[in-house]
Amino acid sequence: MNYTVSSHSFSSKSHELTNGQLTLSYDERNVLKTIMSGPVMVGQHETPEFEQAVSNVYLRVKSGEAISVTPLVFFSPETETFRTNAGEVVWQTTNDLFRARVIATLAKDQSIAFVTADVENLSGEAMTFDVIFGQDIALADAGAVKTNEAYASQYLDHEVFHLEGTGYTVCSRQNLPGSTGNPCSQVGSLSEVVGFSTDGIQFFGKSYKVTNQPEAVFQPTLANVKYQYEMGYIALQSADVVLAAGARHSTVFYVDFQPHMADSNVAEARPVAEIASAYVAPGFDKAVAIAQPEFPLSGESVLVGEELTAEEVTGFFGQERRFAEEKDGKLLSFFHTDSRYVTLQEKELHLERSTGHMVSSGNCHDFRNSVMSSTHGMYGVFNSHVVLGNTSFNKMMGVDRTFLNLFKSSGQRIWVRDNGEYRILTMPSAFETGTNFSRWVYKHNGGFIIVRSFSATESTTIQMEVETKGLEPLEILISNQLTMGNNEGEAVVTVNQNDRNIHVTGNHELIAVHHPELSFTMKLDEALTDVEKVTCEEDGSVRYLLLKGQLNDKIIVTIAGSLTDASQQTVETLDFDKEVAAFQRGQNDLINNFRVSFENDEYNAGKLNDTMQWFTHNALVHYATPHGLEQYSGAAWGTRDVSQGPFEFFMSMQRYDKVVDILESIYSHQYVETGTWPQWFMFDQYNTIQQEESHGDIVVWPLKAVADYILTTGDVAVLDRQVPYTSIEQKFAFTEEKFTLFAHLERQVQHIIDNLVPGTHLSCYGDGDWDDTLQPANQALRENMVSGWTIPLTLQTFKTMTRALKGLEQYAEFVARIADLTEKMEADYRKFLIKDGVITGFLHFPEGDIEQPEYLLHPSDQKTGIKYRLLPASRSIISETFDKEMAEQHMAIIEDKLVHPDGVRLMDRMAEYKAGKQTYFKRAELAANLGREVGLQYCHAHIRFIEALAKMGKVDEVYDNLYKILPVGIQSSVPNADLRQSNAYFSSSDGKFNDRYGAYENFSKLKTGEVKVKGGWKIYSSGPGIYINQLISNVLGVRFEGNSLVLDPVISKKLGKVTLNFRLYGKPCELVINPDQGEFTPKCIELNGADIGMTELPNAYRTGGVLVEKSVLDAQLTDVANKLEIWL
């Protein structure tokens, strides 16, 4: 072994300051780790080893306009830290101007923490200063917070009060109930507060990703604006203090915590006098001195790439600049060659949601494989969330828990020694992504540092390479955070060496049960000469692995994973160019070499081509490695989601083998006791982990998928496949006995029948429908309410199944049963759900009385104030449950009330938000943040709107809406769109409002485009797969029925001739569509120059598409090249 191995250890023991109600935990360096009250995290983050807490106190000395900022809880040559006899922690900073001490204390019998900043003027003249206090806030159970900090913040309501004498104070309430109810806090000061902010993005700012400095502390005042975003962080600014030479002054801040605040956030703050009465002035006696750490990885010294010249950009990425974005004359981003996407540093300064990427091994086309994946962050996260298989538990490396790079120990990082100190690579000059790789370019000292991280096509391997150009040799350190479990520190991680291979294993409880042989192996480059294990003294777990060496030209670190071979003796080094080319070939093959061109609009055709590549990437992440950039927890399929996104994606690509595998997996999770499904389930060896309760529509989606599959393929034999159930009573294990898929369907239909509202043939709402924000607030609504969307979805499903099984004697009784139910349900649909010519969003039967129905989200609704809901109308069109007149009428309503510049919205107005008070619906009334479905433009629903438009032949509207939700070149389609990452599906388009109240009052400005819109959470969604299906099947109109070809394109004459390259039945084909006489319904078709016969299909709203028998195509399609020309 030609490298040395050393060890550095730390203690994970906490020094705790507690009064029985609140506990402040400090690590061995006196750094605050957590603030807890029982199971509740008051703060949002558990500070990682070797990092500083995000909470801090800043002393700002002022001289005229100049501000000199000193963080007081921070390691520096001017700082010492110690503990008092009472066990309280003191941070003391001393320089020529002042001595400042910060100490946290607890009230004796209340859950109040006080932070005292004591300043003594050591200069010879008066000193003017203020103090800023910042504290991250979560107020939720630790498990919930660590599952997703941003999600916890979305439900954190902030109310700001201005109190006489003490100024601003901020009261925060966690609206999502936890183990103690709805925790709340009041953060304020015993002195006057003149400034405040409520979210970390306000305080740290977008520029933090480059500067590594909180933006707000260098401004004259804090924002003084309440902002409800995704990082609860309360910052308070004291009034200026003029301190005479030699004088002292104390500023006291407090965090007052309560485990439960009923109903909603407070209407008024707790009087500060009550809080002040609990304050006891601290002592500053030095009992235990704490030495400053010598460990080099503090993360405070960063290396940021210098700006590239235009010539350098071309040198790295070539001349092509597709969909280039610019601002103030500066190039921000562009696409080139095979859909590669380049982001320059300048763009990142404008983004709240940082640019990132997710790469997966090439076996991601089959969910049954254990896929190796990794998440990359533009700001120097070269690998993180490195997993093999289950994305929650099988982690080798941990996740990046902030979107601003606040913690720099997460994942895999690179440090270089520069001027005698290690500097961590953070924001590059440019960041490039391809489907299976990322590349970071750092311009530095007249040369370049270039990092590449990519996945393999044929093996479960990730490789990171770092090289230099034009630089002297660099001393390099590669840090690797090791997790081997769901969260940091949960598993004991073991590291062993074998020649140049480093083997990583762990003893996590769940891994030991499901994957005892799980291991990762790192193959080290010869240039890496030192390996340092950073271990926890208490359990010997290796938390970090540091790889050191000299970077002369290139260093390679290859990581391989295995579920079956803990030793992994052989790890092959990868070739970047070969892997990238092979991966791209595999993806092109999967999408049937899709490429489209528009004779008169190549710009938007180009958008669709780049989108096809990136939405395919996104769809495969959702299918095979379910998690996202913001939603890093996952590892499960939503029953509704997998029945749409992955199912429709593979259906549109004619990959029916993949579809059958999906169906078998879905039906194996059907509950034998009830016939319905969990809301979500893990589909791998962790299959017993699932959410038993589900929304009322969940039971319909698998049935719809089977019906669509059989109608498309004619493969009735799929109903004979043997599939187990899942047993609730057996702790969600699969049943030993297997049953035919048809038996599953019969059980499923019986569940639907058993859960009709008494006296009707309408399904009860249950725990909700597609719109997760509208989950019912009480039991009566669950049982006596009907979704206006679920019913037409069910009718569509039943009618499709009837068509699919028509004429098959063995299924005649089943078909008759669902046909009878369909007739009765459709009659009640028309009787109850449509009032005054408008379909209702919800129908409520108070106390089960069907004679006095109450209409919610309808023009007659006098309670919610919401008059129109999109989903019932769009699904009634897609399902052809509306007649033509009703469809036209509702489409006019949608265009008038719901269509906005950035897409169609779910309702004509938002549910009113009242500080978390809940009346009808859960999340719609609990979420303080205007994101996801709460903001009403949820892209998934917009895609279904496109489906409805195509069904009706609204050609111009189809293309107008087709581009609104594409991140590629979005400003050309949505003029009021804010900048966002251009190659990642965004799940929602969110109005740029500060809080729910501003959004409610100014909602109309979204319609006029006066307000900007932002992109929501990225990548992890069924949306990309559904979009691809709509584009291919309903816009370009290529789909199948009974395994014969259906051609039903909807083509605007404005586009001119449309050419689509796409394989049909595995044969290469060029489809040329000519919108001559019309814009839909083929009038004539030629295959390879010969006319072919066709049969027109029905459509309730327009002339339909045509069917071409497979036997005709089989006789004329060649294996080499084909031309199918269509005249509309």
Q: Is the dihedral of CA 401, 384, 647, 955 positive or negative?
A: positive
Q: Which residue has the tokens 């997790």?
A: 483
For CA atoms 139, 144, 148, 153, the dihedral sign is: negative
**Contact between 241 and 109 (Cβ < 8 Å):** no
What is residue 283's DSSP assignment?
A: P
Concatenated DSSP letters of 198-255: EEHHHHH-TTHHHH-S-SGGGSSS---B---SSSEEEEEEEPPEEE-TT-EEEEEEEE
Q: Determine whether 1042 is exposed, middle or buried from the number of CB atoms within 10 Å of its CB (0-12, 13-18, 19+).
A: middle
Give the Å distances, CA to CA, from 33 to 41, 50, 75, 163, 184: 11, 11, 15, 31, 20
CA distance 279 to 74: 25
DSSP state of 750: H
User: DSSP letter at 910?
Assistant: P
**How many whole angstroms separate alpha carbon 911 and alpha carbon 921?**
9
Residue of 671, 709, 707 whose CA lies nearest to 687:
671
Rounded Cα distance, 756 and 783, in Å: 9
CB neighbour list of residue 294: distance below 8 Å, 6 or more residues apart: none
DSSP state of 14: P
Place of tokens 């060659």: 337
Regarding beta strands 4-10 and 528-536, do their DSSP bridges make them parallel or antiparallel, or are they unpaired? parallel
At 194, the amino acid letter reads V
Which alpha helices (H) appear in 680-789, and where do they start and end?
700-713, 741-754, 779-784
- Reported as type and span, the H/E element at residue 800 is helix 790-805
As given in the structure block, the two tokens for residue 848 are: 């089960």
CA dihedral over 665, 769, 958, 803, signed as positive or negative = positive
CA proximity to 134, closest of 215, 76, 228, 67: 215
118 is known as an active-site residue = no
The residue from 27, 118, 525, 772 that is catalytic is: 772
CB atoms inside a 10 Å sphere around CB 589: 12
Task: Name the one residue in this structure whose structure tokens are 């994970």.
Answer: 12
Tell me the three-class secondary structure of 568-636, residue by residue. Answer: CCCCCCCCHHHHHHHHHHHHHHHCCCCEEEECCCHHHHHHHHHHHHHHHHHHHHHHHCCCCCCCCCCCC
Distances (CA, A) of 968 to 510, 607, 639: 41, 6, 29
Q: How far is Cα 390 from Cα 636, in angstroms, rounded to an integer?
A: 8
Amino acid at 392: S
Alpha-carbon distance of 994 to 320, in angstroms, equals 38
Tokens representing 180 are 């103690």
- In this structure, the strands spanning 156-163 and 140-141 are unpaired
Q: Name the token pair of 548.
A: 């050191």
Interatomic CA distance for residues 743 and 721, integer angstroms: 10
Residue type, 24: L
**Residue partners of 369: CB distance under 8 A and separation at least 6:** 363, 624
- Looking at the annotation, which residues are catalytic? 772
